Structure 1
Amino acid sequence: MLKIDRLKITIRTAEQDSGFDHTFMQGINFIASDDNTCGKSSVIEGIYYALGFEEIIGGRGEKVLTSAYKNSIEYNSKTFNTLESEVYLEVYNGTDIITLYRTAKMENRDSRLVTVYFGCLADVETGSVDYDDMYVHMPNSATREKGFHTFLERYLGLELPYVNNYSDSESKLYLQLLFSSMFIEQKRGWADIFSGMPNLGIKEAKQRTVEYILNLDTIENEKKKISLTDEKNEIEKSWNDIVQALIADSRSAQCIISGFPNSPRILEEAVRAKVSIEYINRQEINSYILNLRDELSRLSSLKPKIVDNFDELQVELDETEKQIDLISNKINEARTKLSMEDASIKSLRESLDTIKIDIANNKDAARLKNLGADIGSEIIKGICPVCNQAIADTLLPLANEFHIMSIDENIKHLVAQKEMFEFALNGHSEAKAELKNSISHFERSLFTLRRLALSLRSDLYAVDEELSESIVYKKLELGNEIQQLEKFQNTVNDSLEKLTELSERWRKYLDEKEQIPKEKFTLEDKKKLSSFESNFKNDLRTYGYKSVSNIDDISISRDTYLPVINNFDMKFDSSASDNIRAIWAFTMALLQTSNTHLGNHPGILIFDEPDQHSIVISNMKAFFKGIIDVEGWKQVIIGITIKDTDTRTAIESLDARSYNMIKINEKAFTPIIKVPPLNDVDEQS
Structure 2
Amino acid sequence: MSRLRFRYLRLRAETGRGRFGADIPMADGLMVLRADNSRGKSTAVQSFLFALGLERMITARPAHSLTAAMRDRLIYDQNTKGETPVLSSWVSIELEGQNDTVATITRWVKHDEIGSGLVRVAHGPALSAPGQYEMQDYYVGRAGAAANPRGFHHWLASFIGWELPELPATDGRVSPLYMEQVFPLLFVEQRRGWGGIQAQMPYFSGVSDVRRRSIEFLLDLDVGKLEAERLRLRSRETQLQNGWKATVKAFKDAIRGQGLITIGLPETLTVAWPPQEPPMVAESRDSNWIGLDDLLIELRQEHRRLESAVLPRVRDDESESEDRLTAALEEADALREASALLREEILREQTELHSLQDRLEALREDLRQHQDIITLQRLGSEDLERLHGDCPVCHQQLPTSLLITPTPVRTLSAQDTAAYIKQQIELFEVMERDTRRTLEAKTERWAAIRAQSADLRSQIRALRTTLSTPNGTPSVEAITRQVRLRERIDRYESVRERFYGLMGELERLGQDGRSVRAALGDLPSERLSPRDREKLNLLERSFVDQLRSYDFGSFSDERLRISPVDYLPRREEFDLQADISASDSIRVIWAYLLGLLEISKRLATNHPLLLVLDEPRQQSAKEISFRALLQRAAQDSVDHQIVFATSEDLGSLNRMLDGLPHRLHAIDGYVLKPVVD
TM-score interval (norm. to shorter): 0.7 to 0.9
Tell me the secondary structure at the aligned position of residue 596 of structure 1.
coil
What residue is the counterpart of 1:663 in the other structure? 666
Deviations 1:19-45 (A, max 9, x none): 432322211112235x55554333323
CA contact (8 A) 2:264 2:277 kept: no
Q: 2:394 matched to which residue of 1?
A: none
Query: Are 2:339 and 1:337 equivalent residues in the alignment?
Result: no
Write out aligned runs for 1:120-135 (5 A): 120-122=125-127, 128-135=132-139
Displacement of 1:442 after TM fit?
Answer: 0.9
2:601 to 591, 595, 603: 595
- Change in CA separation of 1:78 and 1:378 when aligned onto 2, cut-off 3 Å: closer
Alpha-carbon distance change, 87 to 393 in structure 1, aligned in 2, over 3 angstroms = farther
Which residue identity does 2:44 align to in structure 1? V
Matches within 5 A, 1:117-516: 117-122=122-127, 128-165=132-169, 169-203=173-207, 204-244=209-249, 247=252, 263-266=268-271, 274=278, 280-281=284-285, 291-292=298-299, 295-296=302-303, 298-299=305-306, 300-302=308-310, 304-307=312-315, 312-364=320-372, 367=375, 371=379, 396-398=403-405, 400=407, 411-412=418-419, 414-460=421-467, 464-516=471-523
Please state whether the residue corresponding to 1:466 is helix, strand or coil.
coil
Aligned to 1:648: 654
Deviation at 1:211, TM superposition (A): 1.3
State the identity as a percent: 24
The range that moved more, 392-401 or 21-30, is 392-401
> Do residues 582 (structure 1) and 591 (structure 2) align?
no
- Cα RMSD, aligned residues only: 3.9
Does structure 2 retain, via aligned residues, the 8 Å contact 1:15–1:80? Answer: no
1:588–1:288 distance in 2 versus 1, CA, 3 Å? closer
For 1:51, the equivalent position in structure 2 comes to 52
CA drift at 1:333? 0.6
Structure 2 counterpart of 1:318, which letter? T
**Structure 1 CA distance, aligned partners of 2:151 and 2:251?**
49
How many angstroms apart in 1 are the aligned matches of 2:304 and 2:112? 92
Encode CA deviations 1:155-194: one digit per residue, 9 max, x unaligned: 2222222335566544433323322211223333333212
CA 305–182 in structure 1, closer or farther in 2 if over 3 Å, else same? same
| 1:507 partner SS | helix
- The equivalent of 2:392 in structure 1 is none
Task: Tell me, yes or no, if the aligned pair for 2:349 and 2:435 is still in contact at 8 Å.
Answer: yes
- Relative to structure 1, the CA distance from residue 394 to residue 46 in structure 2 (aligned partners, 3 Å threshold; closer, same or farther) is farther
Task: State the alpha-carbon separation in 1 of the partners of residues 113 and 252 from structure 2.
Answer: 66
Letter in 2 for 1:27: G
1:568 equivalent in alignment to 2:574: yes
Instruction: Indicate which of 15, 24, 27 corresponds to 2:26.
Output: 24
Indicate conservation of the 8 Å contact 1:267/1:500, yes or no: no
User: Structure 1 residues 245 and 517, CA, compared in 2 at 3 Å: closer, same or farther?
Assistant: same
Distance in 2 separating the partners of 1:196 and 1:283: 66
Q: Deviations over 1:253-296 (max 9, x none)?
A: 76676565655445668x79956676644667666555555555
Letter of the 2:83 partner, please give it.
N
Q: CA deviation at 1:245?
A: 5.2
2:535 to 520, 528, 539: 528
2:78–2:670 Cα contact (<8 Å) kept = no
Whole-Å separation in 1 of the counterparts to 2:254 and 2:83: 79
Taking the aligned partners of 2:232 and 2:507, their CA distance within structure 1 comes to: 22
Q: Tell me if 1:608 matches 2:630.
A: no
Question: What TM-score comes out, normalization by structure 2 length?
Answer: 0.83
Partner of 2:643: 637
- Whole-Å separation in 2 of the counterparts to 1:638 and 1:433: 71
Match for 2:41: what amino acid? Answer: K
How far the C-alpha of 1:450 sits from its partner, in A, is 2.9
2:524 counterpart SS class: coil
1:2 CA drift (Å): 1.6
Shift of 1:307: 5.0
8 Å CA contact retained: 2:259, 2:451 = no
Equivalent residue for 2:81?
79
Q: Given the superposition, is the C-alpha separation of residues 394 and 79 from structure 1 closer, same or farther in structure 2, using an over 3 Å criterion?
A: farther
Aligned residue for 1:545, secondary structure, equals coil
The 2-side partners of 1:397 and 1:129 are apart by 90
Report the more deviating stretch, 277-286 or 602-611. Answer: 277-286
State how far apart, in whole Å, the 1-side matches of 2:525 and 2:441 are: 44
**Structure 1 CA distance for aligned equivalents of residues 657 and 75 of structure 2:** 30
Partners of 2:400 and 2:520 in 1: CA distance: 51
Counterpart of 2:106?
101
Summarize the Cα distance change of 1:393–1:246 in structure 2 as closer, same or farther, 3 Å threshold: same
**Unpaired runs of 5+ in structure 2?**
388-398
CA distance in 1, matches of 2:173, 2:494: 41
Pair 1:103–1:346, CA change in 2 (3 A): closer
Structure 1 stretch displaced more, 560-569 or 197-206: 197-206
Q: Structure 1: how far apart are the matches of 2:46 and 2:291?
A: 81
Contact 1:97 1:118 in 2 (8 A): yes
**Secondary structure of 1:29 counterpart:** strand
Residue type of the alignment partner of 2:596: L
Evaluate the alpha carbon distance shift between residue 280 and residue 250 of structure 1 in structure 2; reply closer, same or farther with a 3 A threshold: farther
SS of the residue 1:432 aligns to: helix
Note closer, same or farther for the CA distance 1:393–1:61 as it changes in structure 2 (3 Å cut): farther
Unaligned runs of 5+ in 1: 382-391, 676-685
Residue 131 of structure 1 aligns with an amino acid whose one-letter code is M
In the alignment, the residues of structure 2 paired with residue 643 and residue 463 of structure 1 have an alpha-carbon distance, to the nearest angstrom, of 120
Aligned to 1:626: 632
Q: CA 1:290/1:565 → structure 2, altered by over 3 Å: closer, same or farther?
A: closer
Q: CA deviation at 1:135?
A: 4.0
Larger Rg: 1
Structure 1 pair 215–366 and aligned structure 2 pair: CA distance change class (3 A): closer
- Count of aligned residue pairs for this structure pair: 655
Q: Equivalent residue for 2:395?
A: none
